[in-house]
Amino acid sequence: DVTEKWPYRHYMQKEIYEQPTVVGETLKNLIHAADRTISVSQTAVGLDLAAVQAVTIVACGTSYHAGMVAKYWIEQQARVPVNVDVASEYRYRNTPMAAGSLMIVISQSGETADTLAALRHAKAQGQQVLGVVNVPESTIDREADATLYTLAGPEIGVASTKAFTTQLTVLACLALALAKARGQLSPEDERRHVEDLLQIPARIEQVLTHDDKLQEVGRQLMHASGFLFLGRGAQFPIALEGALKLKEISYIHAEGYAAGEMKHGPIALIDEELPVVVVAPKDGLHEKTISNVEEVKARGGRVVMIHTAGESTGVAADFEVGIAPCGEFAAPILYVTPLQLLAYHIAVHKGTDVDQPRNLAKSVTVE
């Protein structure tokens, strides 16, 4: 029964724990597991992926953060330029649209008013629109030219968790499908990335084993009046999503920042009171992120480091959470879960209404 939260205390907690299953289910529709290849092009019926010259991604809230990750993936893999915008800005910007571009709208509910308006605007300009939607038969599903479904199942907690990781799963496969259709993806890279994606459910399970540790980190940091979240590359939107989760359910002010941009402002906030959560897997940008962590430590900031297990980071963080090694491409799907758990535990420690945070709605169907 999807509406039963037992044995969990909150729907959000249940939905965090469902992620290994629903990411695995979502993947089944998008790849051929037996030969380690992408099968999206057959699923996205009617869209000519090879002809796509540019991509515009429009969404709101957590779905917007999934779109930001997709920008990194699509540009890197498919070599197609990508614009990402929040729907409330996009719909009134009257932006010129080049022929041969594809619009991707991302929406858990499929009913968000601004996202729907952006879709209608694009269709009126003759654009192809692909929806990434969790609710079949929702308005965005019906009006988009094609839909790729996230198989997250009903999401009840207002703060989105499993919808986000399944959106990332779909978008990762779509990026690879676009790359393949455009002749940009070697068979070796396709196999390697698909293998990494197939490992993600088991690796999320491993992240969930850090639950007690994150509960304790949350207990020690729950009285902070603000948090900073830092990341680079495709982990930058993950930092934004970590900050959004914390704001939504714990009512603590939090800001996500590109780690390299910290010196242009947020560094002025750093003192012994400010926890700084750093998403720092061992990837191509790791050294650069670590030098930002050193800048934080030099100013007395309290650092929570989410990093690759077994790899020395070279800096003494106040709290460390080691994540099982995984390929750089798929890593953003994995690194958001510790941030979801941290926000969840801080909210529980503070006694807020985790599943129904004040002033927020699950689906914003009016402007």
Looking at the Cβ atoms of 326 and 341, the one nearer to ligand G6P is: 341
How far is CA 99 from its chain centroid? 29
In the complex, the smallest distance separating the C-beta of residue 159 from ligand G6P, rounded to whole angstroms, is: 6
In the complex, the smallest distance separating the C-beta of residue 220 from ligand G6P, rounded to whole angstroms, is: 27
Catalytic site includes residue 362: yes
The strand pairing partners of 131, in sequence order, are 105, 147
Site for ligand G6P in 135-164 (CB under 6 A): 158-160
Q: How far is CA 27 from CA 31, 139, 152, 188, 333, in A?
A: 6, 24, 11, 19, 12
Can you tell me the distance from the alpha carbon of 174 to that of 162, in angstroms, rounded to the nearest whole number?
A: 18
In the complex, the smallest distance separating the C-beta of residue 143 from ligand G6P, rounded to whole angstroms, is: 14
From residue 240 to residue 279, the character string flagging contacts with ligand G6P as x (rule: CB under 6 A) and all else as - is ----------------------------------------
How far is CA 248 from its chain centroid? 15
Residue 106: name the closest of 155, 56, 153 by CA. Answer: 56
Is residue 112 close enough to count as binding ligand G6P by CB under 6 A? yes
Can you tell me the distance from the alpha carbon of 34 to that of 46, in angstroms, rounded to the nearest whole number?
A: 25
From residue 23 to residue 62, the character string flagging contacts with ligand G6P as x (rule: CB under 6 A) and all else as - is -------------------------------------xxx
Q: Do strands 226-231 and 82-86 pair parallel, antiparallel, or not at all (unpaired)?
A: unpaired
Looking at the Cβ atoms of 77 and 108, the one nearer to ligand G6P is: 108
Can you tell me the distance from the alpha carbon of 196 to that of 198, in angstroms, rounded to the nearest whole number?
A: 5
Q: How many other β-carbons are positioned within 10 Å of the β-carbon of residue 97? A: 15
Q: Would you say 344 and 13 are in contact if contact means Cβ atoms under 8 Å apart?
A: yes
Can you tell me the distance from the alpha carbon of 148 to that of 151, in angstroms, rounded to the nearest whole number?
A: 10
Q: Do strands 146-149 and 302-308 pair parallel, antiparallel, or not at all (unpaired)?
A: unpaired
Q: Do strands 128-133 and 146-149 pair parallel, antiparallel, or not at all (unpaired)?
A: parallel
- Taking CB under 6 A as the criterion, the residue among 43, 63, 150, 169 binding ligand G6P is 63
Can you tell me the distance from the alpha carbon of 317 to that of 303, in angstroms, rounded to the nearest whole number?
A: 5
Looking at the Cβ atoms of 157 and 322, the one nearer to ligand G6P is: 157
- Taking CB under 6 A as the criterion, the residue among 107, 150, 289, 340 binding ligand G6P is 107
In the complex, the smallest distance separating the C-beta of residue 186 from ligand G6P, rounded to whole angstroms, is: 34
Size of the site for ligand G6P (CB under 6 A): 16
From residue 346 to residue 365, the character string flagging contacts with ligand G6P as x (rule: CB under 6 A) and all else as - is --------------x-xxx-
Closest-by-Cβ residue to ligand G6P is 61
Identified catalytic residue from 5, 123, 213, 362: 362
Looking at the Cβ atoms of 19 and 292, the one nearer to ligand G6P is: 19
Site for ligand G6P in 180-239 (CB under 6 A): none
CB-based contacts of 192, cutoff 8 Å, min separation 6: 327
Looking at the Cβ atoms of 83 and 363, the one nearer to ligand G6P is: 363
- Taking CB under 6 A as the criterion, the residue among 13, 19, 108, 308 binding ligand G6P is 108
Can you tell me the distance from the alpha carbon of 344 to that of 342, in angstroms, rounded to the nearest whole number?
A: 5
Residues in touch with ligand G6P (CB under 6 A): 60-63, 107-109, 112, 115, 158-160, 360, 362-364
By annotation, the residues acting in catalysis are 362
